[in-house]
Structure formats: C-alpha cells, structure tokens
Amino acid sequence: MITCCNSLNVNSPFLLTNSSQQLKKTMHPYLHQSKLQKRSSDVTTRGMKVAAYYGLKTPPYELDALEPYMSRRTLEVHWGKHHRNYVEGLNKQLSQNDILYGHTLDELLKVTYNNGNPLPEFNNAAQVWNHDFFWESMQPGGGDMPKLGVLQQIEKDFGSFTNFRDKFILASISHFGSGWVWLVLKRQEKRLAVITTSNALSPILWDDIPIICLDLWEHAYYLDYKNDKIEYVNVFMDHLVSWNAALGRMARAECFVNLGEPKIPVA
C-alpha cells in the first residue's frame, strides 16, 4: 500500500497534486521518476492526490558549468523550456491513456514507436529520452581525447581517433533538418558506428547502444553560435563531450556485447 506524508519531498518518486488535477503544470525540476506507476496506485490523503509521472531530470552539472562553450542562457531555454515542454506534454498525454502506464522510458519509446507507425505519445517520449542522454554526454572540462579502452575501441573500428572525429563532424553538418548525431555500438556487428537520426528518433529503436550524442536541433546552438553549426559541432568535440560518460556506457555495453579485445576497464 502506498503511503504519503503532507509535505513534498523532492526525492519522492511521486508528484503531489490537488485532487481536482492529476498533473501540476509546474513540475519540480529536481524530481525524476524513471518508471510510471499505474493509476490504480493513486491514493487520496487529506485532499491531496499522489500521481506518478515522468519528471524533468536535471543535467549533472550547474546550468552555467559549460560556459563559455554553452551558455547558461542556452541551458535555461533548451533544458528549462524545450525539454520541460516535452516532459509536460508527455505527462499530459499519459494522463489520458491508461494503456501506456507501467513502462520505463526505454520501453515507452519502443511501444509508442509501434514498429514505425508512431503513436501520438512517441515524439514527446523520445525527446525526453534523447535530451536526458544528451545532457549526460557533456561535462565541464570535456572534449580532448577519449581514454583507455574507449580510445582503443575507436581506433579499432575507425582506424584512428582523427578518422572518428572527422566522420562525426561530417555526419553532423551533413544532416539535413532537425535531429541527432550519435556514436553507437552496433550489437550484431560488434563495432562502433556514427549515425544520425531525424527529429525525435533514437538508436535504441533499432537495438543500437548509444555511447554519446549531440543535439542538432537549431535551438541547441542558435543562442551561442547563431547558424554556425560547424562551430557548434567542433566546440562539442573539443570542449564539451564527456569521454568519462562514454567510458561508463561502454563498460555497461560490454555486459551485453562481447567485443573481445580491448576490454573496457571499469573504475
């Protein structure tokens, strides 16, 4: 049985809403709910209703921590408005559809993609997933060279880090319209690859394992770089990309894909 207290704890997996509404428009930004709960688990206590929805996950750094390469203003608009709108839009859709309750966000993407015939909830769900992954693909003091086994795997699959970097940048600037560029691990081929996806599409729909990604939507860079996407992509590779995050993701990926040598070390 679910119980709740009168005050709202930001670490709680639930959102407290008035009994007359299931979702507050202004969701607490530090609240992250990784799994939806069924509406049957909602309870009413002293006029307050507990309803579980997805929360807006915060980047793993302060909003000004990526300056001067990505400004606080960009994070405030991109994360604080665009990303938040995707979360709120998804929650509004889910509040009207019991069928989709009970899925992790990964599962929700695949279910709503519906084998290439996306349901209305897909775009918001995929944009939430992609943005969470994007923020965690950067770090203050990022860029430079990948480390240890990640560098070795890149050299094995691309010939050199320079070849990989050139391929990543070319894919980014050649992509037409809105979308994403990814470094992924192909499960069947057991190799790394650079791919792009359009609009909200994500590599997990095809069972690829994402390692890093860069948002190519114009709102990701326009405030800092205007229409200079080439500069934005180069700055990402030189100063923002988190090879520490890539190292952890590759270590996890090796639990599912036997890459042989080199082994990705776990700290």
Instruction: Summarize pLDDT for 111-145 with one digit per residue, the tens.
Output: 999 999 999 999 999 999 999 999 999 999 999 89
Which pLDDT score is estimated for 228? 97
Q: How far apart are CA 23 and CA 9, in angstroms?
A: 16
Q: Are 208 and 190 in contact (CB under 8 A)?
A: no
Run of H or E including 185 = strand 179-186
- Nearest-5° Cα angle at 188, 245 to 182: 35
Q: Pick from 110, 134, 104, 130: which is nearest to 122 by CA? A: 110
Confidence of residue 260 (pLDDT cuts 50, 70, 90): confident
Instruction: Report how far apart the first and last C-alpha atoms of the chain are (Å, whole number).
Output: 39
* DSSP code per residue over 129-145: HHHHHHHTTB-TT--S-
Q: Is the pTM of this model over 0.75?
A: yes
Query: What pairs with residue 184 in β-bridges?
Result: 193, 210
Q: Which residues are annotated as a binding site?
A: 78, 131, 215, 219
> What stretches of 201-254 show up as alpha helix (H) in DSSP?
222-225, 229-235, 243-253
Neighbours of 171 (CB within 10 A): 19
- The token pair at 65 is 């921590």
Annotated binding site for Mn(2+): 78, 131, 215, 219
List beta partners, residue 192: 185
Each residue's pLDDT tens digit, 37-92: 333 334 333 444 445 579 999 999 999 999 999 999 999 999 999 999 999 999 99
Q: What is the mean pLDDT of residues 5-24?
A: 32
